[in-house]
Amino acid sequence: MRIPTRQALQPSGGRIEFLKGFLRNPKEVGSVVPSSRFLTRRVLECGAVDKARMIVELGPGTGVFTGEILKRMRPNAKLVAVEINPRFVRMLRSNYPDPRLSVYEGSASDLEQALIEVGTSQADLVVSGIPFSTLAHATRRATLEAARRVLGPGGYFVAYQVRSHVRRFAEPVFGPGETHREFLNLPPMRIYVWQRPLGDA
C-alpha cells in the first residue's frame, strides 16, 4: 500500500484550510474553492510573470497562485505575498520555503511597506485575488492607489474576480484596462489587466 507523501497531501489540506478561511471570513477570502490551474496560467500570462523581476501577490490564501508564480518566474526574481489571515501566512511560510519568497502578514493596502521590507519600492507585476467588492471603501481605494504607485513603467496590475465591480473601482486609478474571462474555473472568473505606460515616470 502506498503511503501519501507530504507533498501529495498538501493540495487537499490546502483546500480544507481555504474552505475554513472562507467560512470564518468570506469578506477576506474571495471564493469558496481555490483557483484552477487554467485560471492561474491565464492570469500569469496576462501579467507577463516570466519577465518580471519583482512581483507582489495580494491575498495569496493557501498559495495556489504562489506556487505557480514561483515555478514560472525568473530564477533571480522576487515574490512578496501579502496576506492578512495568520493561518494562511503560516501555511505559505511552511509550504514554500523558497528564498525568493517573502510573506508579509498584513492588509493589502500595506503593500508599499511589504516592499520596503525587502529593500525596494517598485514592482513589475501586482496580482490580486482579493474580493474588492467586499472591502471597505477606504481600504479598497488605498490598496488600488498603492498598487498604482509601486508599479514601474510597463508594469502590470492583474485582478481576477467573480464580479465586475473592480473595473469600476480601478479605472479612476489606472484608467481603461483589458477584460478576459476564464470559464474553466469554479466559479468562472473575470480577469482585469492594467498596464502602466512605458513613458509614465
Q: What is the pTM of this model?
A: 0.83
Residue 150 lies in a domain: yes
Number of domains forming the structure of the chain:
1
Range of the structural domain that residue 170 is part of: 6-195
Q: Would residue 201 count as lying in a domain?
A: no
- Please indicate, yes or no, if residue 116 is contained in any of the structural domains: yes
Inside any domain, residue 1: no
As a whole number of angstroms, the distance between CA 201 and CA 199 comes to 6
Indicate which CATH number applies to the domain containing 97: 3.40.50.150
Scan for cell 516592499, then name that residue. Answer: 115
176 SS3 class: coil
pLDDT per position in the chain (201 positions), as tens?
333 333 333 444 444 444 454 445 544 444 445 678 899 999 999 999 999 999 999 999 999 999 999 999 999 999 999 999 999 999 999 999 999 999 999 999 999 999 999 999 999 999 999 999 999 999 999 999 999 999 999 999 999 999 999 999 999 999 999 999 999 998 999 999 999 998 776
User: Could you tell me where the beta strands, DSSP code E, fall in the chain?
Assistant: 54-58, 78-83, 101-105, 123-128, 151-161, 178-182, 189-195
Domain contains 56: yes
